Amino acid sequence: MHVIKSIKQSFHPNTELESMMDTFKEMINHCIRLGLDNNISTLKKFSSMFYHDLDIYQIQSKYKLTAMSHACGRLSQMKASIKKGKTVKSPFVRKPFLVSCYGFKINGMLLSIPTGNRNYVNVVLNDYITKKLSENCIKPRSFTITPDLLSICIRKEVQEIIPQSVIGIDRNLRNVTISTPTDSIMYKRQVIVNQGKLAVCTSVF
């Protein structure tokens, strides 16, 4: 089985990455507006109808795909909240950031982020992230950068633990029931008032 987690470090992007982050935010909000206007929240339908609407943004297509996916996820979450009667927050993105699972490279202590025309911006990883990425069965899946943070999503293959047996505990106000695959025991509590004093008695059924 696989476990997904993220490892993080502090980060300060250069001017080029800051521009890409702003563009990425604008693309997501553009997609959200199109989705709201046309009542679309699925990536397949959205990409087939509006992919070329993002041609106005000077950024690699891999980031456009991620922006569409992120926007559709926000719209789907908003629709689910409306159906459940929850308070709906604005789906629009306020802060710049950049996410991608395509084209990036990790070589030792360097994370290479593609910027276009086979050019990359190299980010030096700290010792903690470098050590984590060097472990066996670790595979980097995506990266996220914000104005002050770098996060790398990793997947690790772990051995599944198969329990030999299980036990269930159901605790209520007046009783506790313990169940195993072969038996069930209930401990019932009774409160007795005697001369102004409280006493708790437990009986087994």
Task: Please check whether residues 40 and 93 belong to one and the same domain.
Answer: yes
Q: What is the mean pLDDT of each run of 10 residues along the chain (205 residues)?
A: 88 93 96 94 93 93 94 94 89 94 91 90 93 88 94 86 80 77 71 50 51
Q: Is residue 134 domain-shared with residue 180, that is, in the same domain? A: no
Which structural domain, as residue segments, surrounds residue 196?
168-204
CB 110 within 8 A of CB 122: yes
Give yes or no: residues 17 and 113 share one domain.
yes
Same-domain pairing of 7 and 83: yes
- Number of domains forming the structure of the chain: 2
Q: Are residues 30 and 127 in the same domain?
A: yes
Q: What pLDDT was estimated at residue 198?
A: 46
CB burial of residue 167 (10 Å; 0-12, 13-18, 19+): exposed
Burial call 77-99: b when 16+ CB within 10 Å, e when fewer: ebeeeeeeeeeeeebebeebbbb
Q: Dihedral through CA 78, CA 79, CA 83, CA 85, nearest 10?
A: 20
Residue 188 resides in a domain: yes
The verdict on 28 and 9 lying in the same domain is: yes
143 within some domain: yes
Length of the chain in residues, anyone? Answer: 205
Q: What is residue 43's predicted lDDT score, i.e. its pLDDT?
A: 93
Residue that the structure tokens 């992230």 belong to = 129
Tell whether 11 and 55 lie within a shared domain.
Answer: yes
77 and 56 in a single domain? The answer is yes
Q: Is 163 a member of any domain?
A: no
What confidence score (pLDDT) does residue 200 get? 47
What pLDDT does 194 receive?
53
Neighbours of 108 (CB within 10 A): 10
153 and 172 co-located in one domain: no
Distances (CA, A) of 23 to 4, 20, 49, 57, 178: 28, 5, 21, 7, 57
Residue 162: inside a domain? no
Tokens representing 24?
A: 């990425």
Question: Are 10 and 97 within one domain?
Answer: yes
Q: pTM to 2 decimals?
A: 0.76
